[in-house]
Amino acid sequence: MKATLKNAGFTFPMRKIVINLTPADLRKEGPCFDLPISVGILAASEQINADLLGDYLFLGEVSLDGTLRAVAGVLPIAAAAEKMGITGLVLPADNAQEAAVVQGLAVYGCQHLSDVVNFLNNPGRYKPVQMSDNVERLNVTSLHSPDLQDVKGQTHARRALEIAAAGGHNLIFVGPPGSGKTMLARRLPGILPPLSFAESLEVTRIHSVAGLLKNRGSLVRDRPFRSPHHSASGPSLVGGGSFPRPGEISLSHNGILFIDKLTLPNEN
């Protein structure tokens, strides 16, 4: 942080600084604290105007030259900020469209730490980011998703798929190898209804936390289809780990969790 502030053209106070990240019982990880720590140091040393700090939330990774870099999990953070009554959100420009999905929250995207300083000193010169009307769709499923109309025969299996899709039921296919179980299951997304806006927002939040949003600023429009290997571990399915991440069950929310060879006996 000291090198970052100096390289960005600011003065680092020549005294010991203690940064308190409360609450202590909540584990913190990731680079999203870089920007608020930098802003806090600049405000404490009276290098910026601190009048807006109580109304805005800051997050983002800051490189050694002061450039702001995108971080994961922005959408759920923005949604929580809006519920808390936060006026606006200041974050890297690459995350601005993702956060702008949340209505009622002023989002300001910045490229450099100096841009954040200029915004705090002259907020009237900046306009909040608006969600683009031509947001590029983020396809979770394949661009050429298998279509059920390609299947000839399999009348009973097709009927089972239709019932499962209509009622949101679980489904298990049992049969000899090569009978078409996997082929049919992979065509289930094609007969599901499109995601509603509320469902799309829920799915996008989960994928944002998992760092799976490659095109930031896009809502997930297609129902997730997750197909973990049959030997996948418990934590990879239910989530968790030393740095908790969503598992396959969470990532398939509002979509399909497909486990091939579910009843495969243990070779041992």
The pLDDT tens digits of the residues spanning 152-194 come to 888 999 999 999 999 989 999 988 888 888 899 888 988 888 8
CATH number at residue 67: 3.30.230.10
Q: Which domain holds residue 9?
A: 2-125
Higher-scoring residue by pLDDT: 132, 103 = 103
What pLDDT was estimated at residue 161?
A: 92
* Residues 116, 220 within the same domain: no
Higher-scoring residue by pLDDT: 53, 240 = 53
Mean of pLDDT over the chain: 85
Compute how many other C-beta atoms are within 10 angstroms of the C-beta atom of residue 253.
Answer: 17
Mean pLDDT of the region 63-83: 90
Q: Helix count (H) and strand count (E) of the chain?
A: 10, 7
Mean pLDDT of the region 243-258: 90
Structural tokens at position 163: 């019932």
pLDDT at 70 exceeding the cut of 50? yes
* Residues 191, 82 within the same domain: no
* Residues 112, 178 within the same domain: no
d(CA 157, CA 84): 48
Beta-bridge partner residues of 69: 61
125, 159, 180 — which closes off a domain? 125
d(CA 144, CA 131): 28
Domain-embedded: residue 25: yes
CATH number at residue 173: 3.40.50.300
What pLDDT was estimated at residue 65?
A: 92
> Would you mind telling me the total number of residues written for the chain in this entry?
268
d(CA 213, CA 53): 29
What pLDDT was estimated at residue 264?
A: 56
Domain-embedded: residue 143: no
Domain-embedded: residue 130: no
Mean pLDDT of the region 219-234: 85
pLDDT at 50 exceeding the cut of 80? yes
What pLDDT was estimated at residue 242?
A: 73
* Residues 100, 194 within the same domain: no
27-51 burial string, b = 16+ CB within 10 Å, else e?
eeeeebbbbbbbbbbbbebebbeee
Domain-embedded: residue 142: no
Mean pLDDT of the region 20-35: 85
Contact 116, 90 (CB under 8 A): yes
* Residues 93, 190 within the same domain: no
227-237 burial string, b = 16+ CB within 10 Å, else e?
bbeeeeeeebb
Domain-embedded: residue 99: yes
State the pLDDT confidence band at 261, using cuts at 50, 70 and 90. confident
* Residues 164, 92 within the same domain: no
* Residues 167, 205 within the same domain: yes
* Residues 114, 155 within the same domain: no
Which residues lie closer than 8 Å to 177 by C-beta, 6 or more apart?
A: none
Higher-scoring residue by pLDDT: 146, 116 = 116
| DSSP string covering 159-207 | HHHHHHHHHT--------TTSSHHHHHTTGGGGSPPPPHHHHHHHHHHH
Higher-scoring residue by pLDDT: 141, 189 = 189
90, 125, 160 — which closes off a domain? 125
- Strand 61-62 and strand 68-69: the pairing is antiparallel
Mean pLDDT of the region 253-262: 88
Contact 68, 112 (CB under 8 A): yes
Higher-scoring residue by pLDDT: 211, 80 = 80
107 burial class (0-12, 13-18, 19+ CB within 10 angstroms)?
A: buried
Domain-embedded: residue 165: yes
* Residues 185, 245 within the same domain: yes
What pLDDT was estimated at residue 218?
A: 66
Compute how many other C-beta atoms are within 10 angstroms of the C-beta atom of residue 167.
Answer: 7
* Residues 252, 155 within the same domain: yes
- Total domain count for the chain? 2
